[in-house]
Every structure is written in structure tokens, then in C-alpha cells.
Amino acid sequence: MNGDAPSDIIQDWIIRARSNLQLGKAALVTAGVMPEEACFHAQQCAEKALKGLLTKLETPFPRTHALEVLLDLLKVNGMAIPTSVDEAFELTQYAVQTRYPGEWEPVTIGEAQQALERATIVLQWVEGEIYKK
């Protein structure tokens, strides 16, 4: 599959990743929406982008929200992961924990913006890897 046009399933992963990124950005400018929601969508963007790349590489992956697991699978496949992408594992904390009331510190607008920036970096890198010739 490498070098070929991406399959429909790979494109679906990327479309969904882009959608999550847009939802995260919209969350920051929508009254009544908590910054945690933007962070959740940032994590989802990165997760779906990485799963799209693993699909292109024909690498099975577990049902997980743990970005470090997905990044490790890419490394095992010989991918050189830029530091800025590898640091995306930090977004994993937003997959479940911050979506529910609990004993965690509220997320700030700055943290949400940083999460969206990190998700953007991951998505752009993955798209470059998927669509390069």
C-alpha cells in the first residue's frame, strides 16, 4: 500500500482527525464550552491521525486512547518520529480523565490552545507521511 493513493479507510481516519481538530478550535470560541472539551478533541485528532498512518503501514493497533502506544508502534515500524510529534503522548491525559468531574485541576485556555497546537503538528506530520510519494 505504501506509495499508492491512500485507501478510503485511511482517508476516513484523516477526515475524522481534521473534524476533531475543527471541533476543538470551535470549542475555544463557543460560549459555555469548557476548555477540557477542546483538549479532548485535540487528543482525538492526534489519535485518529496516528491510527490512519498505522493503517497505511498495514500495522495492526489495539483499541486504545494511549498515544504513546500508537507512537511506539510507529517506531517499531522504523518511523523516525519528530520530537514535536513524539511529545503528543501528553495529550493522552485528555482522552478520558478530564471529560468527567474528578480530582484534577481544571484546564486553562492556554493549555487547551497548546493541546490544539500539538494536535495540529501531529496531523500535519501524519498527512505528510501518508501523502508523500
Burial of 78 (0-12, 13-18, 19+ CB in 10 A): exposed
Distance CA 104, CA 57 (A): 37
pTM over 0.85: yes
| pLDDT at residue number 35 | 96
| pLDDT at residue number 100 | 81
* 50-75 burial: b if 16+ Cβ within 10 Å, else e: bbbbbbbbeeeeeeebebeebbebbe
Segment 79-104, tens digit of pLDDT: 999 999 999 999 999 998 877 888 78
Report residue 65 as a C-alpha cell: 486512547
Segment 2-59, tens digit of pLDDT: 445 568 999 999 999 999 999 999 999 999 999 999 999 999 999 999 999 999 999 9
CATH class label, 8-131: mainly alpha
C-alpha distances (whole Å) from 87 to each of 7, 47, 84, 114 are: 28, 13, 6, 12
